[in-house]
Structure 1
Amino acid sequence: MKISILFITLCLSAIASYPLPAYATSAEKNANASLYIDNIHIVDVTTGKVLKNRQLKIRKGKIIAINAAQTPITDESHEYQDGKGHYAMPGLIDMHAHAYDTAAFVIALSHGATHLRLMNGVQEHLLWRNELENGSRIGSTITVSSPIISGFTDAHMHYSAQTPADAITAVTTAKQLGYDLIKAYGNLTAEVLRALLREAKKQSIPVAKHGPHPVAHMDWNELKGLQSLEHAEDIYQGPLNYQADLKALDETITTLKALNTPVTPTLNIYWQLTQISDQKQAFIDTLPEGYISPLIELQEKHNQLKRWINSPLEMALHNKKTLAFLQEITLQLYRANITLLVGSDSGVLLSPHGLATHKEMELMHQAGLPILAVLRAATINPAKALGKESQLGKIAVGYNADLILSEHNPLDSLATLKNPAWVVKQGRIFSNAELKTLRQHAIDERSLWQEMRILLNAGTAASVGTGMSAGVSTGICADK
């Protein structure tokens, strides 16, 4: 999302003092005690089979055994949860999110999104990443991209790379600071993007590129080996030149398939703008309260939302047709066996954390993907893309105990996952009631002062020696 320094500064006079949020710490428990979740059915997202009547044994955040239900428990110290015939599957991984306050991670977790890939990182994200991983903060764990490396010269929270040397410096800085991946924007020149990719390979840091196509004067095969390519919308806007041309789409998909690089469609964000352009304020009024930071909400209402709220009926009709074609693109990507990743672009255009992940899955299913394919795109596919396929994305011995337990079989209906009966994160189990309480507490304790400081400092701290712009960005959804 585009953050104006002037806008944030003006907000200072309108916001009262908020205390910094307290750490959400786990209850005091014996760290060596095992958690048993009994009488559950395990959904294998690899095969699509359901393992009936099982018992999970979890210790220190890992699954250490999968037994028959009601296997006798011999541990003297343990925690027991009767799963009551619920269905267990791996936690969801959202591969495209934007968040600048810690409430977002609790909100996402409360809807079963146990891991997020943040796609415009700031240094506070790295601190939060460590706290979430070591359990001193409750919420979805996170993978953090660098600040966007782009060709803009006036975009706040971007590394501005006008030359190959700028790109090399940006990649080197991001690696040294500890970011997990590089996010490269689609308006870099071919010379600059090549330098970025060479340096990222040298530094052993993966790259995700905005737009599933090369920049001008660059070959498609130069995009091999990326962590992912973002936005089906950019296939429509780029190679297809805004035309619903099925022949050109087929040619593009054939070329994409040869790259063997995952694609994140992010249908949800186009659905969001379509609803705003069609229903205007009536749609905005349906969004859940508190899921987006009030500071970002205020910024969005004074910036990006205006275009869609004020758009004519013709624009709404155009958006509906375009969304349908983006779903067709997604279906054709699936039919071509191109790996797809669930990524919601939550946090942009008031798209609510957690719920947006489920809307992305719903839109992919509506596009024609089987439910199992959607579940894979939200679990094992992103785990592999992140290089975490031995830790995340499966319910198996040795894997992280990041799980969703739902009342009904998610292979029959994705909707059952939206409001989970339990979520297990790093071996700690949260009931539906506990998740709601945690979510509300995170919303109530949100610190706008902290978020304002983060957004202001993000431009200033990295601008020295990196070419990062601290100006006001332009365009619509320029950081998706």
Structure 2
Amino acid sequence: MRDLSPEHTMRLTLIAAAIAVSFAASIPAAENDNAGSAPALSVLHCGHFIDVDAGKLDGETTIVIEGKRIKEVLAGNQERAGAQSIDLKQATCLPGLIDSHTHLTMQITPTYYSDQFRWNPADYAIRSTVYAKRTLDAGFTTVRNLGDNDYDSVALRNAINAGIVPGPRIFTAGTAIGSTGGHADNTNGYRHNLAGDPGPAQGIINSPEDAWKAVREHYKNGADLIKIMPSGGVLDEGSSVDNAQLTIEEVKAIVAAAHDNGFTVAAHAHGAEGIRRAVIGGVDSIEHGTFINDEDMKLMKEHGTWLVPTIIAGKYVEEQASKPGVYPPQVAAKAKLVGPIIQAAAGRAYKAGVKIAFGTDAAVYPHGQNAKEFQYMVEAGMPPMFLIQAATTHAAQLLKHEKDLGSIAPGKFADVIAVNGNPLDDVTLLQKVSFVMKEGVVYKISK
């Protein structure tokens, strides 16, 4: 699934072109023409307002938006002359949600493992436009995309930013970085004459020197951050879900190179030893954390490392693993191991005081169902207000973009969603978003 040819730049160009052609032909002209164009002044009249900075629910609130950003947040129902007015008096307004772990350019299906031998990068790119729209419609106005195959999410990000297709704001890691035969090695499981020997240009490293090369390739190809694989995973065709797959020295080299290039580092890690090495190595976040132990949690608190639990992914793969033919046998075995324990692990981390940001591993389950994660997090013992903050202020801090994102406040981007009812009383309401605005542009409004 990964392009090993020297024509990589041309492939990215073709991917971007495929995205543009696909959506220019499929969306209404008005939506296409107005994408990214916000009214000069607009006013949202909210029945209730979740102030994530203060951690409280307010009553009737007026949000004044100028162009792409919030101008004022006022108590009560107030008008502004010449403004476009939107009536949300029966709804609760809150910041656009942030999913800190997605894969918008893929979708795991029963044919996923064979599709990679038939599909071109453009096939993934065109489908990604559909997944991006579903994600935005679900109320997620920003995502971290933690892994693709041909830097196709870079092209998707650029198309969204240019207003060519609708979708969430994307911060992408491009291809993941890992070791030969590990969770990042897309040739794992291939027969030997197809597998080849992927190297740093494809994100596969086996030394600190390789690590520097791989990170610099990501900078060259337009990534926003780095994703590494210091432990085994569920959906690769290897036998272990939790073995350590990067040395501490390799992790430290990746982090040093990443910081040189202004990148943060996210670490996929199910296994306790992989988590320990990643935290000591200086990563910003641990993704999944299924087998996290007390030592890991203590280290994470000491280092200020975030946890992104992705409970929904574990639940979903456990459910699918019992269906014949959905996964290869070794993948199904790993899914049955991870699924029953990932939720409890997240609950223990919350009780221990580990910093938590919201993320789901979208693509492992169907895109657009991201908000089911809130329900699973409540079941793990986390309060609804904390969860909404995990998907807003916490996630913005993890991204290091809290000045622009994460709350509805003057000067920040006008990313606003609304639901009918109070999600603090019923968190499942976040699965029924009725209004979506990103940077002052309304993308969804329904009763």
TM-score normalised by structure 1 residue count: 0.71
Change (3 A) 1:368 1:4: farther
Q: Does 1:140 align with 2:140?
A: no
Q: Indicate if the aligned counterparts of 2:290 and 2:341 stay in contact, CA closer than 8 A.
A: no
Partner of 1:211: 269
Q: Does 1:57 align with 2:64?
A: yes
What are the within-5 Å matches in structure 2 for residues 312-323 of structure 1?
319=337, 323=339
Task: State the Cα RMSD in Å.
Answer: 3.1
Which residue, out of 386, 404, 407, partners 1:394? 407
Which residue, out of 428, 431, 434, partners 1:421? 434
Aligned partner of residue 378 in structure 2, secondary structure: helix
Residue type of the alignment partner of 1:412: D
1:386-419 residue CA offsets vs partner (Å, 9 max, x unmatched): 0111111101111111111111111111111112
Comparing 122-131 and 165-174, the one that deviates more:
122-131
What are the within-5 Å matches in structure 2 for residues 3-82 of structure 1?
20-23=21-24, 25-27=32-34, 33-75=40-82, 78-82=83-87
What are the within-5 Å matches in structure 2 for residues 238-253 of structure 1?
249-253=293-297
Aligned partner of residue 327 in structure 2, secondary structure: helix
Change (3 A) 1:72 1:373: closer
Q: Indicate if the aligned counterparts of 1:96 and 1:119 stay in contact, CA closer than 8 A.
A: yes
Aligned partner of residue 417 in structure 1, secondary structure: helix
In structure 2, stretches of 5+ residues that fail to align are 5-17, 106-127, 188-197, 231-244
Q: Does 1:307 align with 2:307?
A: no
CA positional deviation for 1:30? 7.9
Change (3 A) 1:72 1:382: closer
CA positional deviation for 1:376? 1.4
Which residue, out of 405, 427, 443, partners 2:418? 405
Quote the Cα distance in structure 2 between the aligned partners of 1:21 and 1:221: 42
CA positional deviation for 1:218? 7.8
CA positional deviation for 1:260? 0.8
Residue type of the alignment partner of 2:48: H
Partner of 2:186: 155
Aligned partner of residue 188 in structure 1, secondary structure: coil
Partner of 1:83: 88
Which residue, out of 113, 131, 138, partners 1:104? 131
Quote the Cα distance in structure 2 between the aligned partners of 1:260 and 1:136: 38
Q: Indicate if the aligned counterparts of 1:93 and 1:382 stay in contact, CA closer than 8 A.
A: yes
Which residue, out of 311, 335, 338, partners 1:267? 311
Residue type of the alignment partner of 1:381: H
Partner of 1:329: 345
Change (3 A) 1:354 1:217: closer
Identify the structure with bigger relative contact order (alpha carbons < 8 Å, sequence gap 6+): 1
Quote the Cα distance in structure 1 between the aligned partners of 2:278 and 2:170: 30
CA positional deviation for 1:324? 4.5
Quote the Cα distance in structure 1 between the aligned partners of 2:155 and 2:173: 13
Change (3 A) 1:33 1:149: same
Change (3 A) 1:28 1:401: closer
1:135-178 residue CA offsets vs partner (Å, 9 max, x unmatched): 33211111100311111255259411122221111111111222
Quote the Cα distance in structure 1 between the aligned partners of 2:45 and 2:145: 34
Quote the Cα distance in structure 2 between the aligned partners of 1:411 and 1:216: 35
Quote the Cα distance in structure 2 between the aligned partners of 1:217 and 1:92: 27
Q: Indicate if the aligned counterparts of 1:40 and 1:83 stay in contact, CA closer than 8 A.
A: yes
What are the within-5 Å matches in structure 2 for residues 75-474 of structure 1?
75=82, 78-100=83-105, 101-121=128-148, 122-152=150-180, 155-156=186-187, 158-186=202-230, 187-211=245-269, 222-224=280-282, 226-235=283-292, 249-278=293-322, 280=323, 305-307=327-329, 319=337, 323-348=339-364, 351-355=365-369, 357-433=370-446
In structure 1, stretches of 5+ residues that fail to align are 6-16, 236-248, 282-300, 435-480
Residue type of the alignment partner of 2:257: E
Aligned partner of residue 199 in structure 1, secondary structure: helix
Residue type of the alignment partner of 1:109: L
Residue type of the alignment partner of 1:379: T
Residue type of the alignment partner of 1:252: D
CA positional deviation for 1:346? 1.2
Residue type of the alignment partner of 2:41: S
Change (3 A) 1:180 1:432: same
Aligned partner of residue 85 in structure 1, secondary structure: strand
1:255-304 residue CA offsets vs partner (Å, 9 max, x unmatched): 222121101111111101111134x27xxxxxxxxxxxxxxxxxxx6xx6
CA positional deviation for 1:31? 5.2
CA positional deviation for 1:184? 1.3
Quote the Cα distance in structure 2 between the aligned partners of 1:309 and 1:174: 29
CA positional deviation for 1:85? 2.8
CA positional deviation for 1:62? 0.8
Q: Indicate if the aligned counterparts of 2:60 and 2:89 stay in contact, CA closer than 8 A.
A: no
CA positional deviation for 1:18? 12
Q: Indicate if the aligned counterparts of 2:275 and 2:296 stay in contact, CA closer than 8 A.
A: no
Partner of 2:235: none
CA positional deviation for 1:28? 8.6
Aligned partner of residue 88 in structure 1, secondary structure: strand
Residue type of the alignment partner of 2:72: A
Residue type of the alignment partner of 1:111: A
Change (3 A) 1:182 1:405: same
Quote the Cα distance in structure 2 between the aligned partners of 1:106 and 1:308: 33
Quote the Cα distance in structure 2 between the aligned partners of 1:344 and 1:217: 18
Q: Indicate if the aligned counterparts of 2:275 and 2:286 stay in contact, CA closer than 8 A.
A: no
Corresponding pairs, count: 375
Change (3 A) 1:217 1:251: closer
Residue type of the alignment partner of 2:186: A
1:158-216 residue CA offsets vs partner (Å, 9 max, x unmatched): 41112222111111111122211111111123332232222222222211112177867
Change (3 A) 1:416 1:26: farther
Residue type of the alignment partner of 1:210: H
Q: Indicate if the aligned counterparts of 1:190 and 1:217 stay in contact, CA closer than 8 A.
A: no
Aligned partner of residue 352 in structure 1, secondary structure: coil
Residue type of the alignment partner of 2:178: S
Residue type of the alignment partner of 1:107: R
